[in-house]
Amino acid sequence: MTTAAAPIRTLGFVLYAGVNGLDVVGPHEVLARLRGVEVRMIGSRRGPVATDAGGLTLHATHDWSAANVDVMVIPGGRGVDAIMEDSAFVEALGEAYDRASEVLTVCTGAVLLAQTGRVTGRQATTHWAHRVQLAGLGVEVSEERTCRDGSWWSAAGVSAGIDLALRFVGERVSNRLARQLTVAMEYDPQPPFGRGTLDALAPEARAALISALTPSARSPAST
Confidence check: pLDDT of 3 > 90: no
Residue 110 domain-assigned (yes or no) = yes
Confidence check: pLDDT of 142 > 90: yes
Residue 36 domain-assigned (yes or no) = yes
Residue 65 domain-assigned (yes or no) = yes
CATH of the domain at 176: 3.40.50.880
Cα distance between residue 177 and residue 197, in whole Å: 29
Question: What is the pTM (predicted TM-score) of this model?
Answer: 0.91
Cα–Cα distances in angstroms (integers) from residue 78 to residues 8, 50, 188, in the given order: 30, 11, 27
Mean pLDDT of the 154-173 span: 97
Instruction: Indicate which residues carry an active-site annotation.
Output: 107
**Going by DSSP bridges, is the β-strand pair 57-60/47-50 parallel, antiparallel, or unpaired?**
antiparallel
Residue 5 domain-assigned (yes or no) = no
Bridge partner residues of 48 (DSSP): 59
Dump pLDDT digits (tens) for 103-118.
999 999 999 999 999 9
| pLDDT tier, 206 (very low <50, low <70, confident <90, very high otherwise) | confident
Cα distance between residue 169 and residue 31, in whole Å: 8
- Which pLDDT value is given to residue 219? 40
Dump pLDDT digits (tens) for 77-93.
999 999 999 999 999 99
- Looking at 4-8, 44-48, 142-146, 166-170, which range is the least confident one? 4-8
Residue 4 domain-assigned (yes or no) = no
Neighbours of 151 (CB within 10 A): 17
**Going by DSSP bridges, is the β-strand pair 38-42/47-50 parallel, antiparallel, or unpaired?**
unpaired
Residue 3 domain-assigned (yes or no) = no
Confidence check: pLDDT of 191 > 90: no
Residue 2 domain-assigned (yes or no) = no
**Going by DSSP bridges, is the β-strand pair 10-14/38-42 parallel, antiparallel, or unpaired?**
parallel
Confidence check: pLDDT of 181 > 50: yes
Give the chain's domain count.
Answer: 1
Range of the domain at 135: 10-222
Cα distance between residue 178 and residue 163, in whole Å: 10
Dump pLDDT digits (tens) for 30-60.
999 999 999 999 999 999 999 999 899 999 9
Confidence check: pLDDT of 211 > 90: no
Rounded to the nearest 5°, which phi and psi values hold at 121? 85, -10
Residue 88 domain-assigned (yes or no) = yes
